[in-house]
Amino acid sequence: MAQSSDNNSLMAQAAKEALVAAAVSFGLFILYVGIETYQDINNALVWRTRWGLLAVFVVIAAVSRFLVVGFIKPHLDKRKRDKAKAGIPEVSDGKNFFQRNFLKIALIGLLIYPPLSVMLAGTQGSLKYVDNFGIQILIYVMLAWGLNIVVGLAGLLDLGYVAFYAVGAYSYALLSQQFGLSFWVLLPLSGILAAFWGVILGFPVLRLRGDYLAIVTLAFGEIIRLVLINWTAVTKGTFGISGIPKASFFGIWSFDVGAANNFTKAWGLSMSSAYYKIFLFYLILALCMLTAYVTIKLRRMPIGRAWEALREDEIACRSLGINTVTTKLTAFAIGAMIGGFAGAFFATRQGFVSPESFVFLESAVILAIVVLGGMGSLTGIAIAAIVMVGGTELLREMEFLKHVFGPDFTPELYRMLLFGLAMIVVMVFKPRGFVGSREPTAFLKERKAVAGSFTKEGHG
Amino acid sequence: MEYFVQQLANGLTLGSIYGLIAIGYTMVYGIIGMINFAHGDIFMLGAFAALIVFLILTSFFAGIPVALALLVMLIAAMLMTSLWNWTIERVAYRPLRGSFRLAPLITAIGMSIVLSNFIQVTQGPRNKPIPSLVTDVYHFGNITISLKQIIIVAVTAVLLTVFWYIVNKTPLGRAQRATEQDRKMAALLGVDVDRTISITFIMGAALAAVAGTMYLMYYGVATFNDGFIPGVKAFTAAVLGGIGSLPGAVLGGLLIGLIESLWSAYFTIAYKDVATFALLAFVLIFKPTGILGRPEVEKV
């Protein structure tokens, strides 16, 4: 009997909270959802009501609150209690084959991805899969891994990372057009220039920590973008730079249509841009692998250890004689260099750069990927990039949603909305990201996985 | 000279709006040490609430007096943003209070993205212009000062006095200052910390709504991404004035407004935002405590 009365009071509470949620969401959405403003034929702003949509919002809020309070939360509490009763949480030593060889399988999968998509979708059809999904995701993986060095390893929150991406992209765009240098000369040069900017911007902010550092880097990112917009003599402002040369196959084959050593002609293939995209896919894959290799190696070197020590406790770090100035600057420089590589690649892939590609939102997206993946964890970040970027790319493909919500429905509009929501939801429920633990690089006797909650950023 | 005074008036108007937003940043930072990145978007929500209420008012009561319309818009916008900020704090920030330091900032960035895209989706991406509400102008020699500017400066002055009174003289303000200094101790002494923090968010949001309404009245237009740039500038103002200090926020706002309008008047308008951002960087690097702030002691 006690059980059922317990249940009844739980349901009553859930119903009460659902009503509150309904009232609050009614208040929240009445103006913004319940009323639509639009311009009529005279270009004057007028309004009309959308009570139906408002009702949908309110009902969703009430029902989900009811479910959370009435069913999900008791269930979670019960599981937590059971876990606590069971004592030490299960440590799974017995990994299955897939878990043990995850990285190898993933790498092989990536290597055979372009030929596979050509086989399945045809030469032209593979464009979408290789370019929109493959290259797009890998660019973000690379950027996020680059930012991971700054944020995840050294614990310096950088909200202006996109500035280095922009420096790399504009370095390639301008130098290749002005001096006719090839991609393979400019790729390292773009990285070096970005690293140089990383040091320049890093130097003044050495004393700052945590939130203040974040805001200053945001300001620097915005300054670089505003200069790109306003310095029209060099950057052509908002029009951007178009006609950026394509990368060549190490100078042996060109991908320009008119060139004598055109790749498709040399191999007797039918004309298609798909080959260039496949080449770019392997190029960015190689760049990503380079980034991962550098990160893994650096973590085992004194500088990597110094970064992680700096992240854990700056004061302790200083008192142990670690030079925090060079430690921070190298983190900024290496992170920026990787951003610069990615930028040069981005410029050659798009053939067009404009300040529009380097807005603050882009920095936020990259940071979100790093955080959602679990700071410091390369695998987690890669998974987060696939989920977030691939997921939002997938939204574009969802034609069937048009049949559900009517022909005016454009899924792309919801891209950033969902992205922001994902950031909030993951932070609230899983603040350590998808992969919340990481393998330590330094250990006594045996290697134990460290729970993410032991690692902190910046503030000791 | 007249040109300079004219720019001074424009700068003060702009600065008042920044100051109103900056108070929200400074109060929230003071009480829970978090940069509420979404605060600029709360300001934008306030502008949109005022805009929608204005449209409803003019279609139902065509001949409504402007002062009354403004008052209704102001109150509606304040209620609206208060409810939003209260909900946001409850849903997104409160669960993260014990989490690592970056978590609330990242959530706030996510919230900022959500809010601006929510308005873009529900109200459309285009500029929303409204007819000019207050058109009176006064001439003093060659200097033109509009009634709009006077309203904005006066409203800021009144609200600053009211808020200064609340924070310094009322039990609520005492609870806020206690929570700011030592949350645990305040809780032990019977201060309802959660409630105090909620009220701080509500107060910040209400001021942002005032700023939003003033912004709408001044420029006559609102867009979904209006929150970002004024938000960053207001944050700059809060930092410049000394984060955590109420008069500092307004002082910082006025300075930023003046710098912006004088820079536009005497240098190039294209780089006015660069000037503000550079100033933010300079202040944080050379005087992180701002003009009226207290130094932050580094503890092990």
Q: What's the confidence (pLDDT) of residue A447?
A: 54
Overall average pLDDT of the B25-51 stretch:
89
CB contact under 8 A, A417 and B121: yes
Task: Give the Cα separation of A354 and A352 in Å (integer).
Answer: 7
Overall average pLDDT of the B63-83 stretch:
89
Residue with token string 């945001």: A218
% of residues, chain B, pLDDT over 90:
24
**pLDDT tens for residues B178-198?**
888 888 888 898 888 889 999
CB contact under 8 A, A27 and B83: yes
Task: Give the Cα separation of B246 and B24 in Å (integer).
Answer: 9
Which among A457, A241, A413 is positioned nearest to A343, based on CA atoms? A241
Q: What's the confidence (pLDDT) of residue A103?
A: 76
Say yes or no: A369 contacts chain B, CB-CB below 8 A: no
A431 touches B131 (CB < 8 A) = no
Return the CATH fold of B2-286: ABC transporter involved in vitamin B12 uptake, BtuC (1.10.3470)
Residue B226 tokens read as 């209006």
Q: List the domain boundaries for chain A.
A: 2-79, 104-247+273-454
A32, A230, A364 ranked by CB distance to B270: nearest: A230
A38, A207, A223 ranked by CB distance to B277: nearest: A223
pLDDT tens series, chain A, 460 aa: 456 667 778 888 888 888 888 888 888 888 888 888 888 777 778 888 888 888 888 888 888 888 888 888 888 888 878 877 765 555 555 566 666 677 778 788 777 777 777 777 776 767 777 777 888 889 999 999 999 988 888 888 888 899 999 999 999 888 888 887 788 888 899 999 999 999 988 888 777 766 778 888 888 888 888 888 888 777 787 787 877 777 777 766 676 666 666 666 666 666 667 777 888 888 888 999 999 899 888 888 888 888 888 887 788 888 888 888 888 899 999 999 999 999 999 988 888 888 888 888 888 889 888 888 877 788 888 888 888 888 877 777 766 666 666 666 666 677 788 888 888 888 888 777 666 555 555 555 555 554 444 444 433 3
CATH class entry, domain A104-247+273-454 = mainly alpha
Say yes or no: A23 contacts chain B, CB-CB below 8 A: no
Say yes or no: B126 contacts chain A, CB-CB below 8 A: yes
The packing angle between helices A324-350 and A302-312, to 10°, is: 100
B52, B102, B109 ranked by CB distance to A37: nearest: B52
CB contact under 8 A, B123 and A32: yes
pTM above 0.90, yes or no: no
What value of ipTM does the predicted structure carry?
0.85
In chain B, which among 69-98 make CB contacts under 8 A with chain A? 76, 80, 83-84, 87, 91-92, 95-96
Say yes or no: B123 contacts chain A, CB-CB below 8 A: yes
% of residues, chain B, pLDDT over 70:
98
CA distances in angstroms from A215 to B178, B232, B297, listed in the order given = 27, 9, 20
Residue with the bigger pLDDT between A207 and B119: it is B119
A458 touches A313 (CB < 8 A) = no
Q: What's the confidence (pLDDT) of residue A455?
A: 46
Task: Give the Cα separation of A438 and A427 in Å (integer).
Answer: 18
Q: What's the confidence (pLDDT) of residue A18?
A: 87
Q: What's the confidence (pLDDT) of residue B300?
A: 47
- Chain A's closest residue to B91, CA to CA, is A428
- Residues of A in Cβ contact (< 8 Å) with B80: 27, 31
Q: List the domain boundaries for chain B.
A: 2-286
A364, A431, A460 ranked by CB distance to B109: nearest: A364
CA A360 to chain centre: 13
Say yes or no: A416 contacts chain B, CB-CB below 8 A: yes
Cβ-in-10-Å burial (0-12, 13-18, 19+) of B62 comes to: exposed
- Residues of A in Cβ contact (< 8 Å) with B49: 31-32
Q: Using pLDDT thresholds of 50, 70 and 90, give the confidence band for residue B201.
A: very high
In chain B, which among 190-209 make CB contacts under 8 A with chain A? none
CA B64 to chain centre: 28
Least Cα separation, residue A40 to chain B (angstroms): 12
Q: How many CB atoms lie within 10 A of CB B246?
A: 24
Task: Give the Cα separation of B23 and A247 in Å (integer).
Answer: 51
A38, A47, A424 ranked by CB distance to B92: nearest: A424
B206 touches B78 (CB < 8 A) = yes
Q: What's the confidence (pLDDT) of residue B115?
A: 92
Q: What's the confidence (pLDDT) of residue B4?
A: 84
Say yes or no: B60 contacts chain A, CB-CB below 8 A: no
* Extended beta strands in A293-446, E state: 352-353, 437-438
What is the end-to-end Cα distance of chain A in Å, rounded?
52
Computed over every residue of chain B, the mean pLDDT equals: 86
Task: Give the Cα separation of A91 and B86 in Å (integer).
Answer: 40
- Residues of A in Cβ contact (< 8 Å) with B277: 219-220, 222-223, 226
Query: Coil, helix or strand for B140?
Result: strand
